[in-house]
Structure 1
Amino acid sequence: MTFVDFVAQVFGGEELGRVSTEDGLIGHGEIRVGDTVVPAFDRHADWPRMPSLLRVFVADPFGNIWWGVSYVEDVSEAEMWRRRRDPVYEAIRVVQETLDAELSGQAHGRSSAPVRAIS
């Protein structure tokens, strides 16, 4: 059972989607619980265990990591993959690597490229 499955089951939520990564983890998932969409992703084994992770990315002077997300638009899966090739979305890789470096304590973080779902 993944974290996404757990949240959906325990809170009576509905999984809206997930993006698997090349290392087999969930790079991004969304669960609707009531009128709230909860984003989630798998932790890497070398990240510290935490009770939760709010997706806001800003490093503050207290050592906290914040990730901010907001809804922009719904897009089809085909459009998502088209945009993924656009260089402007390179920032996503940088965010993933920076978060991983902070949580793992490594000098350089990892990012995981998404893989298409097998139909």
Structure 2
Amino acid sequence: MRLAGSGSFVRMRCCVDTVAPHPPAMMAGGDVPQRHAAMRIEDHNVRGLPMAGQTPPPVPEGYHSVNPWIIPKGASGLIKFLEHVFSAVETKEARIPDRDGLLIHSEVRIGDSVIMIFDSKEDWPQTPSFLQVYVEDAESVLTRARNAGAEVVTELSDFMFGEKIARFFDPWGNLWWVHQRAEEVDQAAESARVEQEMESFDSEATDYVYDTLMRAMRDLRSRSR
């Protein structure tokens, strides 16, 4: 269980001895409300905290130094979308419901990375996330996203440094960059070519990739209303 707003991970099994008026909840800032169930720690090795006589690594196992948050209205639906589009795998034991039944914490893994997700409350503003994902088959990912209700911003295009790129808004308003490494290129030569194209904007492909991003970012204002 990795708690929203904290750097700890605890695996717990709850043994309910009394009827709880509310399910155990964890607030986004890491505050723990009084619990109404006796909880037995199944694995007391808390990630991010040292065991006696040990110094922990700076980053917990299975995580990166930077781990993004997505805070949509409808977190469970987004998780299903990511499972379908990116073959994401949810860490079931990390799922924590809030008192109102919404999710206050959940985690999915895409490739080697963890994305943390919890529900936006009714009176919170929309806060879209912006994420880049490397995939093996960008065309298949884009097709699945489109069929699942995504709005494609940038169709699959050749990009710099031997990569292909596509972009889409998911149905919750988050913007995704989908990258596929197509070929290895000479980095020095490619850097010089890219610099020339960006100075002159004389490449149709460069214009399209650039222009679709500018348009998508301008459209965010109308999406947040």
**Length-normalised TM-score, structure 1:** 0.40
Structure with larger Rg:
2
Structure having the higher strand fraction is: 2
**Length-normalised TM-score, structure 2:** 0.22
**More RCO (CA 8 Å, sep 6+):** 1
